[in-house]
């Protein structure tokens, strides 16, 4: 008797008569093999031989390769420095030495190892092609994300060099946390915060003050400097700085003695400044609460 259409199937996917079922893969199925992005091979041709990433500011060097401008500049400087170090080492030989000094080190291509000069030129066509690859999203997401990350840093450095304090604060923050591909570097973070603070940016002043006052295990811990930057920011209308100052005098913290008079002054300043400058409402609420406690204490 032939098997019915409703015959049970075995666990291995075979019918009772032993015929294997074939699983059909639909285009939307997770079983579909993922093909590499269509323009990935083209993108790989534009990778900087030094950084192994798509350049944000591409230049063509004398070896005909495309490089990230900052990477090839650093490479040339390193080669020239090592050449100078090598020649200076020979200066310590005795005056009677007959050993001839070796010739200066020749700069070679990072790609081929062949001798090359230090000239390079803007690679406009390469830049346009890379922008197309990024915007079309026809390359790997990793290359796109790394390029965008590097562009953020490149744009911030450019803006900071032109006096943009917001860019300085971005760089300071990225160095502080070690993000955007930058290594954590407290010295550079402080350097950028100080540059922004010197241009009257109160956000940078408050950031500096917090670092001077709160990071006690760091070499930059300095309560006097912290109070100085807090005072500067508070005098320029920063509500959070005024709140921190008022709290410091109220409790006798951060290197200042407990003193209710300056505490009241700065807490009132924080309450008023937060309202006038649309600062977070929590600043005004906390200042108001501390003023009430201060009144009860007096």
User: What is the mean pLDDT of the segment spanning 155-166?
Assistant: 97
CB 250 within 8 A of CB 270: no
Site of tokens 């209710």: 260
Report percent pLDDT > 70 for the chain.
76
Condensed to tens digits (0 to 9), the pLDDT of residues 180-236 reads 999 999 889 999 999 999 999 999 999 999 989 887 666 778 899 999 999 999 999
Which domains, from first to last, does the chain contain?
37-82+106-141 (3.30.40.10)
Rounded CA gap, 268 and 273, in Å? 8
Is the pLDDT score of 174 beyond 60? Answer: yes
Rounded CA gap, 48 and 147, in Å? 12
More confident residue, 107 or 20: 107
Model pTM above 0.85: no
Rounded CA gap, 142 and 148, in Å? 10
Burial class (CB in 10 A: 0-12, 13-18, 19+), 290: buried
Residue-level pLDDT at 274: 59
Residue-level pLDDT at 105: 58
């Amino acid at each position: 008797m032939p098997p019915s259409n409703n015959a049970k199937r075995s666990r291995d996917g075979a019918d009772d008569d032993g015929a294997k079922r074939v699983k059909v893969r639909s285009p939307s199925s997770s079983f579909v093999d993922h093909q590499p992005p269509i323009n990935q091979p083209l993108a790989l041709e534009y990778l900087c031989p030094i950084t192994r990433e798509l350049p944000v500011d591409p230049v063509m060097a004398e070896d005909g390769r495309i490089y990230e401008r900052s990477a090839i500049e650093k490479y040339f400087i390193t080669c020239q420095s090592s050449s100078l170090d090598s020649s200076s080492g020979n200066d310590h030989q005795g005056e009677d030495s007959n050993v001839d000094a070796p010739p200066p080190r020749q700069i070679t291509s990072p790609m081929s190892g062949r001798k090359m000069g230090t000239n390079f030129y803007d690679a406009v066509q390469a830049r346009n092609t890379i922008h197309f690859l990024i915007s079309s999203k026809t390359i790997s997401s990793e290359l796109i994300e790394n390029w965008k990350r590097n562009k953020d840093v490149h744009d911030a450095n450019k803006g900071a060099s032109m006096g943009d304090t917001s860019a300085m604060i971005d760089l300071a923050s990225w160095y502080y946390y070690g993000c955007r591909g930058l290594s954590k570097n407290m010295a550079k973070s402080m350097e950028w915060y100080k540059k922004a603070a010197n241009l009257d940016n109160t956000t940078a002043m408050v950031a500096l003050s917090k670092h001077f006052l709160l990071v006690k295990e760091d070499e930059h811990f300095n309560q006097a400097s912290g109070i100085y930057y807090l005072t500067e920011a508070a005098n320029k209308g920063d509500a959070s700085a005024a709140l921190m100052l008022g709290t410091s005098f109220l409790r006798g913290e951060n290197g200042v003695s407990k003193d209710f008079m300056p505490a009241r002054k700065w807490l009132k300043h924080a309450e008023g400044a937060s309202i006038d400058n649309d600062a977070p409402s929590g600043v005004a609420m906390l200042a108001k609460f501390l003023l009430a406690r201060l009144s009860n204490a007096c």
